[in-house]
Structure 1
Amino acid sequence: MLFHVRMDVAVPPDLDPEVRADLLAREKARALELQRAGTWVHLWRVVGHYSNVSVFEVPDGTALHDLLWSLPLFPYMTIEVTALTAHPSALSENP
């Protein structure tokens, strides 16, 4: 199942710099791991914001929920999720 996910990040500006650096390094490692596994299909930065728009391919909403909770930056995110399905006019649906 495909999901469109927007993640807006708000890391506290007064977070200890070493804690922040570790947090960002762990987030990057987790994102790369999920992309290499084919779960995090697309990852796009939103220009001018500390945000991204992503597409995930997971079995269901529960799997997505668990995945999002596994992200180190999750406690600092506002997340909007939209389930996706094939469009009948998409080229992939009309070979």
Structure 2
Amino acid sequence: MLFHVKMTVNIPLDMDPARAEQIKAEEKALAQRLQHEGKWRHLWRIAGQYANYSLFDVDSTQELHDILMQLPLFPYMDIEVDALCRHASSIHADDR
């Protein structure tokens, strides 16, 4: 199942800078692992924002939910999710 996810990060201004850097490093490591596994298929930064558009390829909505909940930055994110399905006019057979 494919999901388009927008994640906007809102780290509190009063968070200890060392803690913020630690959380960001943990987030990066997990995001890269999930990309290598093929679960987090694409990741794009939104210019001028601390936000991204991502494409997830997972087996279920529950799996997506579990992945998002384990992100170290999850408590500081606003997340929007759109489920995707094939378009009848798409020329690509594999959704890639």
TM over 0.5: yes
**CA–CA separation in structure 2 for the residues paired with 1:24 and 1:67:** 16
Structure 2: gaps spanning 5 or more residues: none
Q: Which aligned runs of 4 or more in structure 1 are off by greater than 3 angstroms? A: none
Equivalent residues in 2 for 1:63-78, closer than 5 Å: 63-78=63-78
Structure 1: gaps spanning 5 or more residues: none
Aligned-pair CA distance for 1:43: 0.2
**CA–CA separation in structure 2 for the residues paired with 1:15 and 1:71:** 17
Under a length normalisation based on structure 2, what TM-score does the superposition of the two structures give?
0.94
Aligned-pair CA distance for 1:59: 0.7
C-alpha RMSD over aligned residues: 0.7
2:31 maps to which residue?
Answer: 31
Under a length normalisation based on structure 1, what TM-score does the superposition of the two structures give?
0.95
Per-residue CA deviation, residues 18-48 of structure 1 (Å, 9 max, x unaligned), is 1011000000000000000000001000011
**CA–CA separation in structure 2 for the residues paired with 1:29 and 1:92:** 31
1:45 maps to which residue?
Answer: 45
Q: Give secondary structure in 1 for the equivalent of 2:14.
A: coil
**CA–CA separation in structure 1 for the residues paired with 2:14 and 2:36:** 33
1:19 maps to which residue?
Answer: 19
**CA–CA separation in structure 2 for the residues paired with 1:67 and 1:20:** 20
1:10 maps to which residue?
Answer: 10
